[in-house]
Amino acid sequence: RYAFYTEMHHARKITRLAQEGGAARLHADLGAPCPRTVVQLGGAEPEWLANAYVALAEAGYAEVNLNLGCPSDSVQAGCFGAVLMKTPERVHDIIRAVDAKRLSVPFTVKCRVGVDELDSDAYLQQFLATITQATSLDHIVIHARKAHLKGLSPKENRTIPPLDYARVYMVKRAFPHLRITLNGGLHTTEEVRAQLLQADGVMVGRKFRDSPMFIQELDRGMLAERLHSV
């Protein structure tokens, strides 16, 4: 039931590696795919992203995720990451390009609840309505903090913007047909359990990085809940 996400890799890099040595070269650089390995992609060019998706799918990775949440200066300079939330039409073009080459491997999106001044329920609804229109996109991971593209470092962007879980819940109500995974600020089994009452799934990042054994604690907590409900 767990999926494991890689760090973000640029689409041009993935395509180059695949051209150099196929699946073996990708496995050497990214690690061999496990049954639930999700590769995070970065980029802004639809054709490059579509080609990278095909290369990863053919190399055996379980899922490919487009990162629309990274606010770093270098990523912004390449016009990808969180800055793409300001141009939903471009994101839509990317997803349509992937759909044109679609294999059985899912292509998903990870975004923020807002970016800079585009920080409202209405904008997030408009953004998601645009990128999902006439596409196969049906799973979105939402980091429950807005992205500040100026004034905060990537590290600060993970902690300083306040968590807005209510906006993620709003998305699930507005788009009940989409699978919504909530990310941000989850540190205990109790917090994970509470969010699973509102969202279809949760993503835990820094807690696993800082406390790798948390996965065992989470397993025990969720198993105890299932046994109690029998």
For residue 202, being part of any structural domain is answered with: no
For residue 194, being part of any structural domain is answered with: no
The Cα 40–Cα 67 span in angstroms is 6
Provide the domain limits for residue 152.
Answer: 4-184
For residue 63, being part of any structural domain is answered with: yes
| Number of domains within the chain | 1
For residue 155, being part of any structural domain is answered with: yes
Condensed to tens digits (0 to 9), the pLDDT of residues 112-159 reads 999 999 999 999 999 999 999 999 999 999 999 999 999 999 999 999
| 111 catalytically annotated | no
Q: Which long-range contacts (CB under 8 A, 24 or more apart) does 217-221 make?
A: 217/189, 218/189, 218/192, 220/189, 221/189, 221/190, 221/192, 221/193
Predicted confidence at residue 225, as pLDDT, reads 54
Q: Which of 3, 145, 168, 39 is nearest to 82 (CA)?
A: 145
For residue 199, being part of any structural domain is answered with: no
For residue 131, being part of any structural domain is answered with: yes
Catalytic residue among 34, 70, 79, 111: 70
Side chain identity at residue 40, one-letter code: Q
pTM for the structure as a whole: 0.92
User: Which range among 29-38, 164-173, 219-228 shows the weakest confidence by mean pLDDT?
Assistant: 219-228
CATH of the domain at 49: 3.20.20.70
Name the average pLDDT for the chain: 93
Residue with tokens 């998706």: 53
For residue 204, being part of any structural domain is answered with: no
Residues 67, 41: contact at Cβ < 8 Å? yes
User: Which range among 72-81, 87-96, 171-180 shows the weakest confidence by mean pLDDT?
Assistant: 72-81
